């Protein structure tokens, strides 16, 4: 399915469609279990903004279904995420979306599966979700796509020695192991440096890397607070590396806004250049609705939230039209309908994995985010060698 046509209609008819009487459309509640506070707050907030934009765009286009998103903040707690799923099920939601990290998604998706609710995320990238036997779990991205992107960038840089600093959390540990294996197979010498999620002083690790490993580049695999701590330590100790490459949640406009001196010239996974530009109607619809709701630049986290929301809402509408909404129709529609989205094609396997997922890499460059890998998606030249200090 190509969404261009109805997005174009939505853009031109927003005002008119907004006055369609509510009685003509069936309203369905979708639960959003998301980390708006706690250690995952930055990633969770970005995803949630995208979900709310999807709710706005979907409802403005009209049709026989309207969506109301009911959000519960899981406070970055797996136990509270499970409680939120159970509470939303009691409130008769037809599906759930959200989950900022794999540690949250795991228990939340398990609870949703037991309750017979489809669960859609961009935060559960760990491979273990594909072997859990979930009946209706779906994700639009995966660890493999991130690893290929970071490894591809490092190969382009011709890195021969790499130090990997990674959180011992589930998804970050898995990504680190995959990076180690992938780069070692390419002949790169890789040293591994795990840290607990409670770590705030990274100077001992950075000092060891500086004095013993002496790598060409450092690969940071963690989350926002981790990156801030690591980059603060590198600014003090100044290891002789050519690049600092992060995983998710670092190449965002919000990170530059909050920590401009720390993140400039760092690399991270990012689908969007900043300033954001879209050439296609669906991207323009996303950008226009985002700027109406929020006073800052969208980024890939909000982009993912938008895509996961739209995919779910569209599947609900198709299931409603087919009369299968209470017969597993949402999951059936998601599995059987490939969609061309603003992150590329999405095609779900039987286990709910998006087998088409490919990630890009962006670099902070004085307030802009330039897409520097792959070459086919590049919006500018990388500043290499380059570090924040």
Are residue 66 and residue 194 in the same domain, yes or no? Answer: no
Give the list of residues 6+ apart from residue 326 with CB closer than 8 angstroms, or none: none
CATH number for position 101:
3.40.50.2300
Residue among 158, 159, 150, 105 at smallest CA distance from 132: 105
Specify which residues 98 forms β-bridges with.
33
Would you say residue 237 lies in a domain? yes
How do residues 292-345 score in pLDDT, each as one tens digit? 999 988 888 899 999 999 999 999 999 999 999 999 999 999 999 999 898 888
Which contacts (CB < 8 Å, 24+ apart) does range 377-383 have? 379/273, 380/273, 382/267, 383/265
Distance, CA of 124 to CA of 105 (rounded, Å): 5
Are residue 370 and residue 258 in the same domain, yes or no? Answer: yes
Residue 165 sits at the vertex; the CA angle it makes with 300 and 223, to the nearest 5 degrees, is 35
pLDDT over 50 (residue 288): yes
pLDDT over 60 (residue 163): yes
Mean pLDDT, the chain, rounded, equals 91
Would you say residue 190 lies in a domain? yes
Tokens of 342: 């603003």
Mutual orientation of helices 78-90 and 102-114 as an angle, nearest 10°?
30
Contact, 287 vs 278, CB < 8 A? yes
Q: What is the DSSP letter of 130?
A: G
Are residue 137 and residue 148 in the same domain, yes or no? Answer: no
What values do phi and psi take at 372, rounded to 5? -115, -10
Would you say residue 351 lies in a domain? no
Angstrom distances, CA of residue 381 to CA of 48, 150, 151, 249, 374:
31, 16, 18, 21, 11
Are residue 228 and residue 369 in the same domain, yes or no? Answer: yes
Are residue 224 and residue 251 in the same domain, yes or no? Answer: yes
Distance, CA of 250 to CA of 297 (rounded, Å): 14
Residue among 379, 356, 310 at smallest CA distance from 30: 310
Half-sphere exposure of 194 (CA within 13 A, CB side): 12
Query: What residues make up the domain containing 116?
Result: 26-142+279-346
Would you say residue 189 lies in a domain? yes
Are residue 152 and residue 202 in the same domain, yes or no? Answer: yes
Cis preceding-peptide flag for 374 (omega within 30 of 0): yes
Are residue 237 and residue 364 in the same domain, yes or no? Answer: yes
Are residue 162 and residue 138 in the same domain, yes or no? Answer: no
pLDDT over 70 (residue 1): no
Percent of the chain having pLDDT more than 90? Answer: 75
Distance, CA of 125 to CA of 146 (rounded, Å): 9
Are residue 128 and residue 153 in the same domain, yes or no? Answer: no
The answer to which of 188-202, 215-229, 243-257, 311-325 has the lowest mean pLDDT is 243-257
Are residue 270 and residue 320 in the same domain, yes or no? Answer: no
pLDDT over 70 (residue 211): yes
Would you say residue 154 lies in a domain? yes
Angstrom distances, CA of residue 287 to CA of 295, 300, 307:
12, 12, 12
Distance, CA of 191 to CA of 179 (rounded, Å): 11
> What's the domain count of the chain?
2
Are residue 186 and residue 324 in the same domain, yes or no? Answer: no
Rounded mean pLDDT of 222-246?
Answer: 96
Spacing of C-alpha 209 from chain mean position: 29
With H, G, I as helix, E, B as strand and everything else as coil, classify residue 45. helix
Would you say residue 168 lies in a domain? yes
Residue among 300, 285, 372 at smallest CA distance from 343: 300
How do residues 137-151 score in pLDDT, each as one tens digit? 999 999 988 999 999
Distance, CA of 354 to CA of 358 (rounded, Å): 10
Cis preceding-peptide flag for 275 (omega within 30 of 0): yes
pLDDT of residue 4: 45
Would you say residue 2 lies in a domain? no
Distance, CA of 195 to CA of 288 (rounded, Å): 40
**Model pTM score:** 0.78
Burial class (CB within 10 angstroms; exposed 0-12, middle 13-18, buried 19+) of 205: buried
How do residues 102-115 score in pLDDT, each as one tens digit? 889 999 999 999 99
Helix (H) or strand (E) holding 17: helix 14-17
Would you say residue 385 lies in a domain? no
Place of tokens 């010498």: 189
Tokens of 176: 């680190």
Are residue 292 and residue 149 in the same domain, yes or no? Answer: no
């Amino acid at each position: 399915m190509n969404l261009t046509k109805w997005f174009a209609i939505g853009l031109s008819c927003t005002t008119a469609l907004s006055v369609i009487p509510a009685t003509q459309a069936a309203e369905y509640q979708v639960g959003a279990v998301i980390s708006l506070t706690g250690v995952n707050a930055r990633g969770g907030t970005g995803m949630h903004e995208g979900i709310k934009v999807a709710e706005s765009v979907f409802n403005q286009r009209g049709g026989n279904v309207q969506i109301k998103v009911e959000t519960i903040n899981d406070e970055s707690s797996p136990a509270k995420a499970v409680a939120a799923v159970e509470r939303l099920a009691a409130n008769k939601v037809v599906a759930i979306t959200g989950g900022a990290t794999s540690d949250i998604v795991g228990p939340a998706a398990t609870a949703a599966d037991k309750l017979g609710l489809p669960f859609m995320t961009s935060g559960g990238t760990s491979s273990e979700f594909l072997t859990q036997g979930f009946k209706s779990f779906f994700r639009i991205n995966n660890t493999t796509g991130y690893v290929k992107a970071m490894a591809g960038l490092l190969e382009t840089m011709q890195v021969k020695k790499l130090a990997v600093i990674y959180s011992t959390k589930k998804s970050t540990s898995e990504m680190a192991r995959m990076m180690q294996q992938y780069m070692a197979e390419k002949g790169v010498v890789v040293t591994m440096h795990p840290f607990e999620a409670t770590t705030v002083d990274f100077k001992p690790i950075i000092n060891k890397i500086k004095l013993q490993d002496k790598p060409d580049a450092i690969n940071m695999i963690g989350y926002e607070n981790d990156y801030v701590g690591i980059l603060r330590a590198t600014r003090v100790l100044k290891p002789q590396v050519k690049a600092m490459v992060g995983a998710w949640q670092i190449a965002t406009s919000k990170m530059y806004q909050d920590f401009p001196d720390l993140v400039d010239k760092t690399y991270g996974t990012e689908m969007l250049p900043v300033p954001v530009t879209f050439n296609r109607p669906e991207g323009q619809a996303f950008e226009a609705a985002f700027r109406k709701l929020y006073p800052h630049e969208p980024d890939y986290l909000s982009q993912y939230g938008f895509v996961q929301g739209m995919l779910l809402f569209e599947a609900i509408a198709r299931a409603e039209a087919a009369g299968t909404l209470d017969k597993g129709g949402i999951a059936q529609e998601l599995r059987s309908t490939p969609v061309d989205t603003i992150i590329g094609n999405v095609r779900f396997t039987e286990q709910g994995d998006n087998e088409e997922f490919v990630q890009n890499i962006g670099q902070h460059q004085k307030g802009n985010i330039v897409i520097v890998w792959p070459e086919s998606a590049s919006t500018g030249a990388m500043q290499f060698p380059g570090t924040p200090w």
